[in-house]
A and B are shown apart, each in its own frame.
Chain A
Amino acid sequence: MMRFLFHRMLATLPVLLFLSIGVFSMLHLAPGDPVTTMLSDDLASPQVAAALRHQLGLDRPLYVQYGWWLRRALHGDLGYSYRSKSRVASEITARLPVTIELTVFAIAGALSIAVPLGVIAALRRNTGLDALISGIGALGLAMPAFWLGVLLILLFAVRLHWLPPSGYAPPWRGLGPNLRLMILPVITLGMSYVSVVMRIARMSVLDVIKADYIKTARAKGIQESRVVARHVLRSALIPIITVVALETGRLLGGAVVTETIFALPGIGRLAVDSVLDRDFPVLQAVTLFMALALIAANLLADVLYAWADPRIRYG
């Protein structure tokens, strides 16, 4: 297993290299000069600009700049934000807990609803219940996350006054307010996930349920609920894990939108703000970070395969 992981990580190195070149070039492809962006108008004399350009290394050849940038990035130094003048790395770490809480709750919530519903739809296939569940799935997939968010705010915050419409309270200042503020964003982000996972859970259970070993389990007289829990679900897990990993990209993209609607100070919100402020070091760092998260999710999926299906052995 360790050997497999090592090889798998080694295989991601070329992607990481290209990724770093791509992200590095972002700053240089952008129209406009970072130096003039950084300097306020009254300071921007040619001498000051030249001095700053030299200090930042912008007068060196591109490959030298890339080398410096990469070395600093590997040490966790991603530069300084144009807007707040603080370190980009510390901006990211400050906002990380919000995004992690949002995405983890969304995945956990979506799985705990979608898997049972998908299994029920498969076990009661071609009934009204199956059609209802599949229909809700199709609707959830077409519903833009931001519209769902708007509708949820309208119903639960504006009309019913059950929950606050937006904002964030850190969990260490009290779990109650934190959770009350996170309920609507988590539903908003989790909904499209529910649809996808439900569809795949239904399909993979339908595939497994005809297998010989399921018939054997039933023939042995094992209770139906136990057959489903121990035998069917376990094999159906593989496609579910794959889809959850594949959909991580969409989840992170959805987090950008969700954080904007609900005014959550997370990494997605940081990405949007950095574009609006033309704050390229931050945009670079967020892009890099999101890509790393996606790569890590796929790596984790490979590890989980072996856990879900003992027949899969690596190495």
Chain B
Amino acid sequence: MRGPTLVSGTGNAVVATYVAQGTRIPTSGGIFVTGARFVTRHRLACVGGLLSLGMLLVAVVGPTVDPTPPNAVHVSALLIPPSRTWWLGTDDLGRDILSRVFAGGRISIGIGVVATLTAAVVGVPAGMASGFWGGWLDGALMRLMDLLFSIPTMVLAIAIVGVLGPSVTNATLAIALVAMPRFARLVRGQVLALREMEFIHAARAVGAPPARILRRHLLPNLLGLVVVQGTLTVSFAILTEASLSFLGLGVQPPTASWGSMLRYGYPFLDQAPWTAITPGMAIMLTVLGLNLLGDGIRDLLDPSL
């Protein structure tokens, strides 16, 4: 009863069946046939995956191959429309928008990922403990979640940033805080359902300590759900960061983020619409990609669909 045997055994039987039924991956026909079938069956998820991957590349690889520094000011090239020299044009200070989309992507996606990881690292254990032990711990944690849920997310994020002061770190913290209850609630619900299942009873019966049950038996069964929620939360976090930065409460100048680029490009809408259109497009493509990917993974794990 050690290690991986449980993951493929009773413990993960649920997820294993889900995956098997959901995808119906054929055992013969070679990897290419399997791949082709997978793509036709999950077209939207694949589009989402490609979009997300593309935008991730923009953020990770973009700044390293781009020779122009994102904050470099070119006084002779103010508000130049997209051209051969300036692929996406320049802004009111003569900064290259392409370089800023690259650098801004790193900040925007970075904040999205870090905020989501922080939310998951706190929210998942909280939800697991709450669902597993119940009692006063559950009561206290869930009332706290009720409280966080009772304030509209954007307003709560604004209030947190308002108290802590606008900066990248504080915006990340605020987004992590408002995203945390999503993980905690979801995981708690799933643990409530799982803890009455036979393999958990069995583990208890052989005397496994609670910490081991949580880590070895419950956690593997929650991963699928957490991955789906994580994907959707990254998209939520990117949107929230963009909104905060657009309102002037997130990333501060001269640092580029997609939201702050939109904020400072917006007053030049009539002369240079590209300054606002490009970062907005980047946000939309990333969020669309992540939403499709998240929905796709969910369909994959849910045999009833």
Spell out A's residues near B (CB within 8 Å). 14-15, 18-19, 22, 26, 29-31, 138-139, 141-147, 150-151, 153-154, 158, 248-250, 252-254, 256-257, 260-261, 271-272, 274-276, 278, 280, 283, 286-287, 290-291, 294-295
Q: How many residues of B contact A (CB 8 A)?
A: 44
Q: 12 extra interchain contacts, Cβ-Cβ under 8 A, other than A14-B143, A144-B283, A252-B152?
A: A18-B146, A19-B147, A142-B285, A154-B269, A158-B270, A256-B155, A257-B246, A275-B158, A275-B162, A286-B155, A287-B155, A294-B151
Whether A19 contacts B163 by the Cβ 8 Å rule is: no
Could you pull out 26 A-B pairs where Cβ atoms are within 8 angstroms?
A: A15-B146, A31-B164, A31-B165, A138-B291, A142-B235, A142-B284, A142-B291, A143-B284, A144-B243, A144-B283, A144-B287, A154-B269, A249-B151, A249-B153, A253-B152, A253-B243, A257-B247, A261-B266, A271-B158, A272-B248, A275-B158, A275-B161, A275-B166, A278-B162, A287-B151, A290-B155
Determine, out of B29-37, B63-71, B273-281, the stretch whose residues face the partner at the interface. B273-281
Q: Are B151 and A150 in contact (CB under 8 A)?
A: no
What does DSSP make chain B's interface, helix, strand, loop or mixed?
helix
- Collect the chain A residues with CB atoms within 8 Å of residue B143's CB: 14-15, 18
- Which residue of chain A is the closest to B155 with respect to CB atoms? A290
Instruction: Determine whether the beta carbon of B246 is less than 8 Å from that of A146.
Output: yes
B205 CB to closest chain A CB, in angstroms? 38
B151 lies within 8 A of A290 (CB) = yes
Kindly provide the distance from the CB of B81 to the nearest chain A CB, expressed in whole angstroms: 14
| Closest CB in chain B relative to A312 CB, distance in Å | 23
Contacts between the two chains (Cβ within 8 Å), count: 135
Partner of A256, one of B158, B161, B283, B285: B158
B269-A150 in contact (CB<8A): yes
- In the assembled complex, how far is the CB of residue B240 from the closest CB belonging to chain A, in whole angstroms? 9
A142-B288, A144-B284, A158-B269 given; A291·B152 CB < 8 A = yes
B194 within 8 A of A: no
A151 to B277, CA, bound (A): 8
